[in-house]
């Protein structure tokens, strides 16, 4: 499964206004309010925040991947937010997150697939040249094109 196949232009925010983790998650989540994959938006957000209390999804190197396995989505969904200033995400390396991927997957669907997606995203987003390309992207379409380029 490739991230580029799931990204949609209306779910990519290139200029996050958020100044903290909660605001960032909510700002990105707003792009999923009317998503067909999300059957219960409020439950989805609650589950993401519940997951975040277990340990931070700020994985370091300017990356955060808040996510949840939840009954509130019926298919895998992802939204992306970019912050030029960075958002404090309690990351392992104490660096602010500039690339934030909000993801949800149904509880009832394969955990293995979800873990593979997380691992795949982590692997490609850690590439410095890919991060630089995402920072240069001037439109959501360019972000999707960069994902498709690096995933092919």
Catalytic residues: 67
* CA 77 to chain CA mean position, Å: 9
Given a contact cutoff of 8 angstroms between Cβ atoms, the answer to whether 100 and 66 are in contact is: yes
Rg of the chain over Cα atoms, rounded to whole angstroms, equals 14
**Exposure letters 54-85 (e unless 16+ CB within 10 A, then b):** eebbbbebbbbbbbbbbebbbebbbbbbbbee
d(CA 143, CA 120) in angstroms, rounded, equals: 17
Query: What would the two tokens of residue 125 be?
Result: 């987003």
């Amino acid at each position: 499964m490739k991230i580029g196949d799931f990204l949609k232009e209306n779910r990519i925010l290139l200029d996050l206004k958020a100044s903290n983790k909660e605001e960032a998650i909510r700002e990105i989540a707003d792009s999923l309010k009317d998503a067909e994959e999300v059957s219960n938006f409020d439950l989805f957000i609650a589950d993401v925040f519940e997951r975040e209390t277990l340990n931070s999804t700020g994985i370091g190197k300017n990356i955060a991947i808040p996510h949840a396995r939840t009954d509130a989505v019926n298919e895998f969904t992802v939204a992306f937010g970019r912050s030029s200033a960075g958002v404090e995400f309690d990351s392992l390396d104490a660096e602010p997150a500039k690339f934030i991927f909000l993801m949800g997957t149904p509880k009832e669907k394969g955990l293995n697939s979800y873990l593979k997606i997380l691992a795949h995203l982590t692997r490609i987003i850690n590439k410095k040249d890919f991060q630089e390309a995402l920072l240069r992207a001037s439109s959501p379409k360019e972000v999707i094109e960069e994902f498709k380029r690096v995933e092919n």
